[in-house]
Amino acid sequence: MTDRVAIVTGAAQGIGRGIAHRLDALGHRLVLLDRDAGALTEAAATLSRPATAIDLDVADPDAVSEAIGRVARDHGRIDILINNAGISPAHGGRSVAVEDIALDEWDRVMAVNLTGSFLTCRAVLPVMKAGGWGRIVNFSSMGGRMRSLLSGAHYAATKAGIIGFTRVLAGQVARDGITANCIAPGRIDTPQSRSFGGDETFLAQLPAGRLGAVEDIAGGVEYLVSDAAAYVTGTVLDINGGHYMP
């Protein structure tokens, strides 16, 4: 089925923008959330149908609850939630030492990557339950699945934590027709990953021999939000060109 109402966070650039394009191509009605108002308007304008674009910080509880309430009122339902917004502070392309992580930075990474996903899930669940159908995709990372030379401990903690959060959620809502899964991308070519540099060393170790494209991630989202994935819940889909094989 197409013409579902789909919310994508962090949709102004990178992976989120690619996901929005894929869901738009599939015929869904898009709601784009991002803190970058200018890039968000530009991203919404590139879709084939009018989209709702709301600039907000996903870590702001009032803004999230107001935005989701507005989407529910305007569209009458919410079917798909993609929690893609995330930050990974760059520290010269290396994993920052734990003793060098400032508390402010730690708190901000927790707030955006973990609390942000909790806030959007909490807000959409009553609407999805009322509709008897829902698809939630949360964003983990290879950095939350294995030791990474790039990720800081704060980033890794949020990306491992989102997997535990998603499992509990999936168990709670399975009988409401709602699935909740994670995607854990490897290194994908986006503005965030470009800020880390060091591609040659990484590519030499990577079975696929290339960085991932946003379309590789969009393909995973397309499957997880489809009717074909109705019996897939509480899982982590690793999309990483063979770098991590659990």
Ligand X SMILES: NC(=O)c1ccc[n+]([C@@H]2O[C@H](COP(=O)([O-])OP(=O)(O)OC[C@H]3O[C@@H](n4cnc5c(N)ncnc54)[C@H](O)[C@@H]3O)[C@@H](O)[C@H]2O)c1
> Binding residues for ligand X, per CB under 6 A?
9-10, 12-16, 34-36, 57-59, 84-88, 112, 116, 139, 141-142, 185, 187-188, 190-193
- Give whichever of 171 and 191 is closer to ligand X, judged by the CB atom: 191
- Give whichever of 55 and 176 is closer to ligand X, judged by the CB atom: 55
Taking the complex as a whole, the smallest distance from the CB of residue 56 to ligand X amounts, in Å, to: 6
Among the listed residues 155, 223, 231, 244, the single catalytic one is 155
- Give whichever of 65 and 192 is closer to ligand X, judged by the CB atom: 192
C-alpha 207/C-alpha 238 separation (Å) is 14
Neighbours of 42 (CB within 10 A): 14
Taking the complex as a whole, the smallest distance from the CB of residue 3 to ligand X amounts, in Å, to: 25
Query: 213 — phi, psi (to 5°)?
Result: -105, 155
Q: Which residues pair with 83 in a beta bridge?
A: 138
Taking the complex as a whole, the smallest distance from the CB of residue 38 to ligand X amounts, in Å, to: 10
- Give whichever of 128 and 188 is closer to ligand X, judged by the CB atom: 188
Taking the complex as a whole, the smallest distance from the CB of residue 162 to ligand X amounts, in Å, to: 9
155 assigned to active site: yes
How would DSSP label each residue in the chain? ----EEEEESTTSHHHHHHHHHHHHTTPEEEEEES-HHHHHHHHHTSSS--EEEE--TT-HHHHHHHHHHHHHHHS---EEEE-------STTSPPPGGG--HHHHHHHIIIIIIHHHHHHHHHHHHHHHHT-EEEEEE--GGGTS--SS--HHHHHHHHHHHHHHHHHHHHHGGGTEEEEEEEE-SB-SHHHHTT--HHHHHHH-TTSS-B-HHHHHHHHHHHTSGGGTT--S-EEEESTTS---
Taking the complex as a whole, the smallest distance from the CB of residue 12 to ligand X amounts, in Å, to: 4
- Give whichever of 38 and 50 is closer to ligand X, judged by the CB atom: 38
Catalytic residues: 155
